[in-house]
Chains A and B, each alone.
Chain A
């Protein structure tokens, strides 16, 4: 690896490979901190509260939500799109940045990928409970049946979603697991008793021979190359749930790129939120340095600007199309009864991230933390605006309607957050949060023990 004398090293604190193993394994080997317990209890209670709301809704029916005949999609689909989007940053960090050989990804790729998997889990919950009869969810798969066999409708964007999200979850999980096998072996070799047995099972007898490493690296690049178009396809397909409909405000060709970049934007905001807390709580300041935080801030301001461009493009196209229905939807979004949600979206997603141009803000962790949460809120509202404001005033003024979410819907909203943070905190506690074997390859060069020049092996 070529090292610059000007740039700061990726990993600070003069770490050796042995230090990396010790530091990363520490949270798994000792007792968790009090902060972890507080966070876990909080997440678990949120999950329980949300779980109660979801259970009540499944038992009673979709009528417990504030949806009506005009607004058929509300909180639920907003949550679905929000969580799928969160996942995208993880794949971007683990796959796209691997292909571009961005070495700074090594500190955060493991936890970002974990975030992807948990976010997709959360996303999957919402269409499931929206079915009303979630025990019949297997109907979305094309399986031989006695009704014909009657197959699923392959021409429907909703079915494409099933395949896109299913593939995304599977491939992300496989990629995450393969990346973790060498680290699981490290833990196996340090552990004793039952823990050794468990990690021995999951580390697949990994030894790290030269041939295995060679094959392993090839497999990682291949999976990254597969995950890259996959991640673009997933949110494109999600956007087609809307774009293939004829509803003004949904029926636009800009949707796929607009959704993908919005997903990356919101995902990076979530990575920042998590990493700023995790590096402090898990004492990983030497591994997730300010350099990493800055890099993510830059991605945030870049993707945020593209999101702003997408909003402008949408509005311009509505005006330029000459379609009065399209124009009405946009005027209604900006100045109608739900204009507040539109302006929350604009201030959180367009204006707020631009503050990151200011050096002082980019260097203040509390400021970045607050901004990352603001962006998350903004991106949730983006999906809310797209879904609800396009629906609530449709072609027939006689069927215009308001949408007021019920408490049960708020319950299902926090269910996602409870599930996400519970899973993430468990991950921090039981699995290596930082990819040790990858970090060990990007450590700054140490002083050689001998003065003999062995030649530059880089």
Chain B
């Protein structure tokens, strides 16, 4: 989708936060905020709901645990039972360490995988040029101009008032 966007660059995260607050208040659509580091309070200001990643971790962990317990039982008690020091075939206490490690392994890997998939991050993904400074020291607030209620100069002034030290207009895909 093609946008007509205004990008305001901020040096100070507090100014960014207040600008975000005003935009939300006045109903100006915010395409995105891009930051060099996680800004405390930005989630609330933008109304981002807490991530559902913990569920992935839970299910990944549960899968690892069940796989670990089942496989140890199946291989030691069913598929090829071997008498080790007269211990019972289904010696569950001895299966705890491996089952535990597999729980952690599956939970961790599935969390990482879900993070990358959900955030559309993959090796070698191309990034659009123009926002290099946002991995260094500046925050970018990207506003969309699609509403006749806000004139170009109004948006520009709003960004200026809240301390944006550079304002750019962009036409194109800003994801």
Contact = CB atoms under 8 A, between A and B. Distances in A.
A208 B34 contact: yes
Given A142-B71, A167-B105, A207-B131, A450 B80 contact: no
A209 B34 contact: yes
B32 A226 contact: no
Interface residues of B, number: 73
B100 interface: yes
B94 A155 contact: yes
Contacts, number: 221
A274 to B, nearest CB: 25
Q: Which secondary structure characterizes the binding site on chain A?
A: helix
Nearest to A17: B137
B122 interface: yes
Contacts of A18: 136-137
B84 A155 contact: yes
A233 B80 CA distance: 28
A113 B54 CA distance: 23
B122 to A, nearest CB: 6
B157 interface: no
A23 to B, nearest CB: 12
Given A204-B123, A207-B131, A226-B108, A219 B84 contact: no
Contact of B36 (A17, A142, A222, A226): A17
A190 B136 contact: yes
Contacts of A223: 108, 111-112
Contacts of B63: none
B112 A233 contact: no
Contacts of B48: 210-211, 214
Interface in B115-165: 115-116, 118-127, 131-137, 163
B18 A455 contact: yes
Interface in B73-96: 75-76, 79-80, 82, 84-85, 87, 91, 94-95
A154 B79 contact: no
Interface in A156-187: 156-157, 159-160, 163-164, 166-167, 170-171, 174-175, 178, 181-182, 185-186
A440 B137 CA distance: 9
Given A153-B82, A215-B115, A218-B50, A174 B108 contact: yes
Interface in A216-243: 216-219, 222-223, 226-227, 229-230, 233, 237, 240
A24 to B, nearest CB: 11
B13 interface: yes
Contacts of B111: 219, 222-223, 226
B79 A210 contact: no
Given A151-B76, A200-B124, A457-B14, A210 B163 contact: no
Contact of A170 (B41, B51, B109, B136): B109
Contact of A149 (B17, B80, B97): B80
Contact of A214 (B13, B51, B109, B124): B51
Contacts of B62: none
Contact of A215 (B98, B118, B125, B132): B118
A146 B109 CA distance: 30
A208 B75 contact: no
Nearest to A225: B57
A207 B134 contact: yes
B136 A17 contact: yes
A395 interface: no
Given A205-B126, A222-B111, A163 B38 contact: no
B102 A449 contact: no
Given A208-B134, A209-B32, A440-B36, A155 B91 contact: yes
Contacts of B53: 215, 218-219, 222
Interface in B9-47: 11-15, 17-18, 32-43, 46
Contact of B116 (A157, A188, A204, A217): A204
B79 A182 contact: no
B136 A449 contact: no
A142 B67 CA distance: 13
B104 interface: yes
Given A16-B137, A437-B38, A171 B82 contact: no
A16 to B, nearest CB: 7
Nearest to A439: B37
Nearest to A147: B80
Contacts of A455: 18
B18 A163 contact: no
Nearest to B48: A214
Contacts of A214: 38, 42-43, 48, 50-51
Contacts of B80: 148-151
A206 interface: yes
Contact of B98 (A160, A188, A222): A160
Nearest to B19: A454
Contacts of A206: 121, 127, 135
6 contacts: A160-B101, A163-B101, A164-B97, A171-B108, A216-B115, A222-B53
Interface of B: 11-15, 17-18, 32-43, 46, 48, 50-51, 53-54, 57, 61, 71-72, 75-76, 79-80, 82, 84-85, 87, 91, 94-95, 97-98, 100-102, 104-105, 107-109, 111-112, 114-116, 118-127, 131-137, 163
Interface of A: 1, 16-18, 20-21, 142, 148-151, 153-157, 159-160, 163-164, 166-167, 170-171, 174-175, 178, 181-182, 185-186, 188-190, 200-202, 204-219, 222-223, 226-227, 229-230, 233, 237, 240, 436-438, 440-441, 446, 448-450, 454-455, 457-458
